[in-house]
Each structure stands twice: as C-alpha cells, then as structure tokens.
Amino acid sequence: MKKQKLSVVKIGGKLIENENLLQTFLRSFVDLQGHKILIHGGGILATQLSDQLGYKSTLIDGRRITDENTMKVITMTYAGYINKNIVAKLIGSGCNAIGLCGADGSSILSKRRAVKDIDYGNVGDVETVNTEFICSLLTQQITPVFSAISCTKEGQLLNTNADSIAAEVAIALSKDFETHLFYSLNKNGVLMDAENDKSVIEELDFVLYQDLQAKGLISNGMLPKLHNCFHALQHNVNNVYVGGVDVLKSGIKQTKILN
C-alpha cells in the first residue's frame, strides 16, 4: 500500500519573532496537503525574557549553558507562550492542532548530554520518538506542534536542538509515511556566498557538501543543520528542503538536499 504523505516542518529565527511573517507562514502551513507536524525553536524571545528577569547567561567557551533559570525561561517561552500562540492561530485558521513538548504523551524522550569537556547543563539528545502516539494524533487529523524541549524517562525537561528534533521525528515516522522534511531559515537556503542571499544552491548532494565544507564555504551555523539533513536522508526520509520563511511555497528558490 502506498504510504500517506507527511510533512515535517521546522521553523525558527525571525519567523518566530515577527508576528506578520509567522501569520503568513502559518497560512501556507494550513494549506499544505496531507499530514503535517510543525516544530519550532524560540528565537530570541527566551534571551529577551532572561534579560528582563535579570538572569545572567552562563557561557563556557562562548557556548550558552542551560542552567535552572534558563530552563525555566525556555519552558515558559517555548512550551508556553510561543507554542500556545501558534496552536491558537492554527485553531483559528481551521487547522486542529495540538501543542506538545517531548514530555507530553512521552512523545520525545531524551538523554541528558554526557559531560565531556563541557557540562552544557539541562541539554538533551533525542533517544526515542513515540510514533504510536503521534500516529494516533495524525489519524485523528490533529496536527502536532512541538516546542524544542524533550524529557528524560526520569522526568527531567531538557533543552533540545529543534533541528535535531525535526530530523528525528521525520526519521521515526518514515516507517509509516512518505516523509518530507522542511527547514525554514532566515536565509533563503544554503548559500554559495553567505553575504549574497541570491546565491542559493538549488541542489546540494553529499559530494558537493563535502567539497564546500573542505573549502570552508559553509558557515558554522549551517554545518550542524546540514548534518541533520543528510542524517535524515540516510535514514529513509524521502525529501529534505532548506529554504527561507516561504519554504512551503512552490516556485520559490530554495535548496533541495540530495543523498
């Protein structure tokens, strides 16, 4: 039997921070045919709230540590404010959605990242995606909206990279669905020249990726993102796209990642 189509869409950055852009994006998300799942990060809202509350960021080697206060702020902004506002907007557009963090329905369980050189604090890596539960939602025509928080089976909430969650959710569900994974960035795709937003690479395969990486042409922010893209393709996800805020629109220049 032909598998049904599922789109897994990750949004972040300015889409989350700009009400008008978000509204426009959600319209195209609602119009997307077939089953769909939305995964969002938090943009700068968590940092802004931390600053307002006078919480000091702990940085080690320039990397932010998720201490108790940061985790509290992330839970409030990601799982609370951003998540519920997206869900409410979707409900208002006639798309029955449900906002989840990884704890909800044990949907995304993770392991706290082991301390090697640096203790990143309350940060986790996905271990299991509860596909049975997520499929039961999709079957009921309910669209899951995940915030980038997972949970250990011992009940600890953990800050978790939204790009990785998107890849792991898409991979886990590719058993049951023809799965399409979309990453929406501030840039219009993977750029040949980071300064030129028109230099979108339309097709990026692993050979070209390695070549560009060797030449130092892929920015530090893009490397882990592309790692997630190839990881997904190598684990049965059918298609992966990297684009801008209008990644879901057809006829828009964006990057298709090829295995």
CB of 153 to a second copy, least distance (A): 7
Kindly tell me which residue out of 4, 57, 136, 219 binds a second copy, with binding defined by CB under 8 A: 136
Burial of 132 from C-beta contacts in 10 A (0-12 / 13-18 / 19+): exposed
Q: Name the minimum Å distance from CB 173 to a second copy.
A: 17
Is residue 217 a contact residue for a second copy (CB under 8 A)?
A: no
* Single residue of 66, 70, 77, 110 touching a second copy by CB under 8 A: 77
Our finding on whether 173 is near a second copy (CB under 8 A) is no
Task: Single out the residue of 80, 192, 235, 256 in contact with a second copy (rule: CB under 8 A).
Answer: 80
Window contacting a second copy (CB under 8 A); options: 33-41, 85-93, 208-216, 244-252:
85-93
Question: In this chain, which stretch among 70-78, 163-171, 215-223, 227-235 interacts with a second copy, using CB under 8 A?
Answer: 70-78
Binding segment for a second copy (CB under 8 A), chosen from 7-15, 98-106, 160-168, 223-231, is 98-106
Does position 140 interact with a second copy (CB under 8 A)? The reply is yes
- Tokens 């990279």 -> residue: 161
> Considering only residues 32, 135, 142, 212, which one is a binding residue for a second copy as defined by CB under 8 A?
142
Residue 105 interacts with a second copy (CB under 8 A): yes or no: yes
Binding to a second copy, residues 14-53 (CB under 8 A): 49, 52-53
Applying CB under 8 A, the residues found at the interface with a second copy are 49, 52-53, 72, 75-81, 83-85, 87-93, 96-101, 103-106, 133, 136-137, 140, 142, 149, 151-157
